[in-house]
Amino acid sequence: MNDETAGKPVNSTRLTLERAMQFHGAGNWERAEQHYLEVLLDDYRSTDVLPLLASVVANRGHIDRAIYYWDTLLSIEPHHLNALAAKGGLLYRTGRLTDALSCFEIAAGLAPHDALIRNNLAVALADSGRKDEAIIEFGHVLRLQPDNVNAYHQLRRLSSAIVPFWHIPMMNDTRRNDCFELAIRRALAIRGSSAQILDIGTGSGLLSMMAAREGATNIVTCEAVPAIARVAQEIVAENGYDEQITVIGRSSTGLFVGEDIPAKADILISEILSSDLLAEDVLSTFEDARRRLIAEDAIVIPKAATAMGCLVASETLAAYSHVKMASGFDVSRFNSLAPLRLPIHGTMTEWSRLSNDFEIASLDLTSAAHEPELRAVSIPVIASGTAVGVVQWMQVELIDDIVFTNHPDGYHDGGWLQVLHVLPRPMPVEAGSVVDLLLGHDRSTLIVLPAGFASQPIKNELR
Ligand SMILES: C[S@@+](CC[C@H](N)C(=O)[O-])C[C@H]1O[C@@H](n2cnc3c(N)ncnc32)[C@H](O)[C@@H]1O
């Protein structure tokens, strides 16, 4: 603050400032701005006047000019908390997310206990697609303000967007859990409790805790979704197994023997089978694990998985998979955009079988490499109807003779759903005839198509 500037008595500048504040208080932003500018020209109490000026300018809708005044203040006081927070707010309002984020990050660093600033940082992180960091940040907000309903809701919204809906029913799937526990027990009986175990895809930590409960002492488990890994770490500790189990919040492809896991694993446990077998990238993950992370003679659980299916008719599913007329218009061309597959929610969807069970694709999960495959198969039709597609389920061979299946006859609404693989067009079929299908996989999806496409082997030069 200069006591006297450019020969102008300070009293006069002080009066101008008072007038500016009166205009400001009265909501006369234009006159307030003029008077603040005069005060600023007099170099009088600049660090007090700049926030007021920035705020009236912003009120007048001149956002970039407001940012300019906040920047001017920051050039004098780089750690001015209000300037950082307000500038961040203006940048956010005008869609400049990256710049807003850096303001909020610096501000949060300066005021780690300021719930508003941390909340703004969390919102900007979420909007920038940095969901995991947003989850952590909203967690901080909630520790500062346990009753903050918005932070609580945002935390739930983001977590549920990261964690798929099937995770809870999967954990509640006693039949699945018991099969894995039995298999883990067998493997430990063979290799002993000091065997090095690698569990890829921690989830809640369930499979690792089964191994630990069975006495295993050297378990490393990795989880690609950091938010899930953090919760798993807490669950493992709460259950008293954190001495035996190391949880790593990273994808298996980022693990290294000697760094993350002391030695190549003697037992690999991994349940990363999606309902349609392949969508969780099981083939690349197992191949990578075999190449780098497990011993040559490691026990692999599960050792194999097969996608099974049957041809089905269903009016309900037909209405989800194909369209012809809508309100008198022919919209059948939209079928070119129809879904490739639909999850079937157990008994909620009626369908009837038109064929016996057949194999769609079978995977040896112990092998070093898997090629895409496609083969022509003639399926005998056992009932007449209009085939909408193939309902598919899984048969998972865990170890020895322990097999889990979610065959639709005996398994509804467990962790795994059955899946309808939609035919491009509904296909009327007669009992006693055969339907020729092309069946196989491209390593990440199952393929179910009517024959008629030449059965060319699938070549993917990129793999
Ligand atoms: C189907 S859940 C199984 C969770 C737990 N193992 C169980 O059986 O309850 C699979 C988990 O593996 C994680 N995952 C999938 N591929 C992974 C990989 N390559 N590395 C680490 N985690 C992975 C997913 O994020 C998901 O949480």
Tens-digit pLDDT profile for residues 205-232: 999 999 999 999 999 999 999 999 999 9
Complete DSSP assignment for 113-161? T-HHHHHHHHHHHHHTT-HHHHHHHHHHHHHH-TT-HHHHHHHHHHHHH
* pLDDT score for 206: 98
User: Do 372 and 256 belong to one domain?
Assistant: no
The residue whose C-alpha atom lies closest to atom 13 belonging to ligand 1 is: 201
Confidence of residue 3 (pLDDT cuts 50, 70, 90): very low
| C-alpha 437 to ligand 1 mean position (Å) | 32
Two tokens at 73?
């203040």
In-domain check, residue 463: no
| C-alpha 281 to ligand 1 mean position (Å) | 10
The residue whose C-alpha atom lies closest to atom 14 belonging to ligand 1 is: 201
User: Do 50 and 154 belong to one domain?
Assistant: yes
In-domain check, residue 462: no
How distant, in Å, are the alpha carbons of 164, 359, 437, 443 from that of 458? 30, 19, 16, 10
Question: Exposed (0-12), middle (13-18) or buried (19+): which is 100, by Cβ within 10 Å?
Answer: buried
In-domain check, residue 4: no
- Choice from 177, 272, 284 to test ligand 1 binding pocket (greatest atom count within 8 A of CB): 272
The Cα–Cα gap between 223 and 245 comes to 13
In-domain check, residue 195: yes
Complete DSSP assignment for 19-30? HHHHHHHHT-HH
Q: Ligand 1: which residues within 6 Å by Cβ?
A: 170-171, 200-201, 203-204, 206-207, 222-225, 228, 251-252, 271-272, 280, 285
Select from 162, 183, 210 the last residue of a domain. Answer: 162
* Ligand 1 atom closest to the CA of 250, numbered from 1: 21
> Is-contact 233 162, C-beta < 8 A?
no
Confidence of residue 385 (pLDDT cuts 50, 70, 90): very high
- Choice from 202, 281, 404 to test ligand 1 binding pocket (greatest atom count within 8 A of CB): 202
* pLDDT score for 462: 47
| C-alpha 223 to ligand 1 mean position (Å) | 6
| C-alpha 142 to ligand 1 mean position (Å) | 28
Tens-digit pLDDT profile for residues 330-352: 999 999 999 999 998 767 788 99
Instruction: Check the CA dihedral 188-194-199-202 and report its sign.
Output: positive
Element (H, E) at 188: helix 174-191
Q: Which residue has the tokens 């990363």?
A: 272
Complete DSSP assignment for 426-452? EEEE-TT-EEEEEEEE-SSSEEEEEBT
For residue 454, pLDDT over 80 is answered with no
- Beta-bridged to residue 395, according to DSSP, are 306, 405
The residue whose C-alpha atom lies closest to atom 24 belonging to ligand 1 is: 201
Calculate mean pLDDT across residues 290-307.
Answer: 98
Give residue 326's domain range: 304-450
Q: Give the CATH number, domain containing residue 339.
A: 2.70.160.11
In-domain check, residue 84: yes
**β strands within 201-262, DSSP E:** 218-222, 245-248
* Ligand 1 atom closest to the CA of 201, numbered from 1: 12
Task: Please count the structural domains in the chain.
Answer: 3
The Cα–Cα gap between 135 and 162 comes to 10
- Choice from 280, 288, 444 to test ligand 1 binding pocket (greatest atom count within 8 A of CB): 280
| C-alpha 222 to ligand 1 mean position (Å) | 8
* Ligand 1 atom closest to the CA of 225, numbered from 1: 25
In-domain check, residue 433: yes
User: Do 372 and 332 belong to one domain?
Assistant: yes
Q: Could you tell me whether strands 341-344 and 418-429 are parallel, antiparallel, or unpaired per DSSP bridges?
A: antiparallel
User: Do 386 and 441 belong to one domain?
Assistant: yes
Q: Residue-wise over 291-321: b if at least 16 C-beta within 10 A, else e?
A: eebbbeebbbbbbbbbbbbbbbbbeebbebb
* pLDDT score for 79: 95
User: Do 148 and 195 belong to one domain?
Assistant: no
* pLDDT score for 266: 98
* pLDDT score for 414: 77
| C-alpha 199 to ligand 1 mean position (Å) | 9
Tens-digit pLDDT profile for residues 95-154: 999 999 999 999 999 999 999 999 999 999 999 999 999 999 999 999 999 999 999 999
User: Do 122 and 140 belong to one domain?
Assistant: yes
DSSP 458: P
Calculate mean pLDDT across residues 306-327.
Answer: 95
